[in-house]
Each structure stands twice: as C-alpha cells, then as structure tokens.
C-alpha cells in the first residue's frame, strides 16, 4: 500500500515465501504502469511494466496484476530471497498529450526478507 507520513508500510516475509506488494493508483485514465525496486542508497531499478489492456504480466519470479475496476496494482515475488529486500513502488503514466510522458509515483512499501 501507500505510505502515510514519514513511515513506509513494511511487509516482512520469510525467505522462500511468496510476497505480494500492493499499490492503489489515482488516475482511472492511466494506461501504463511500472514497478520499481529501490535498494538502500541506490537509484530505483525497473522491474516490470504492464499496460491497461492486460490484467497480468509475468517476468522472472515476478508477476504484476492489474485490476482497473478498483484501480489496484500488485507485485508478486515468488520464492522471496534476501536480495529482494528493498523498497518497492509503483508508477502510473499520466498521458498529458505532450511530447514527454510523465510518471506519477507511489511512496513505496519496504519489503524485509527474514532469513
């Protein structure tokens, strides 16, 4: 989910379990979504994207689900590993009709993987 104030929501999972990270997006007209992973002290890293004409997209160990009815996006990580520990945030594309597409970013969820 999205953060409130200065504290990120935290998801704590055991190594080997599956993780599900959620995101509520704001604009019903958004047609493209991205999940990013950000490790401590580093820049965000692209994980996976999905367009609004799809409900599900799979990558390596990751799956993104899109529910346009309730404006909800989720990221599923299979067999979570210690290296998956990071902040995960979603982004939605806000088409403004210009030459450059802007992204609107969520504030993120901290995934903590327990060994």
How far apart are CB 3 and other proteins at their closest, in Å?
6
Our finding on whether 64 is near other proteins (CB under 8 A) is no
Our finding on whether 97 is near other proteins (CB under 8 A) is no
Our finding on whether 1 is near other proteins (CB under 8 A) is no
Rounded Cα–Cα distance for residues 38 and 5 (Å)? 19
Our finding on whether 83 is near other proteins (CB under 8 A) is no
Our finding on whether 48 is near other proteins (CB under 8 A) is no
Specify the 3-state DSSP secondary structure of 39: coil
In this chain, which of 40, 42, 70, 83 binds other proteins, going by CB under 8 A?
Answer: 42
* Backbone phi and psi for residue 12, each to the nearest 5 degrees, phi listed first: -110, 125
Q: Would you tell me which residues interact with other proteins (CB under 8 A)?
A: 3-8, 32, 34, 36, 41-46, 49, 89, 91, 93, 98-103, 105-108
């Amino acid at each position: 989910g999205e953060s409130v104030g200065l504290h990120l929501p935290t998801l704590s999972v055991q190594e080997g379990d599956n993780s599900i990270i959620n995101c509520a997006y704001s604009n019903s007209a958004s047609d493209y979504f991205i999940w990013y992973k950000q490790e401590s002290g580093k820049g965000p890293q692209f994980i996976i994207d999905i367009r609004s004409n799809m409900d599900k997209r799979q990558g390596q160990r990751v799956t993104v689900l899109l529910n346009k009815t309730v404006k909800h996006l989720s990221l599923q990580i299979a067999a979570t590993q210690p290296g998956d520990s990071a902040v995960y945030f979603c982004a939605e594309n806000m088409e403004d009709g210009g030459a450059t597409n802007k992204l609107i970013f969520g504030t993120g969820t901290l995934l903590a993987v327990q060994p």
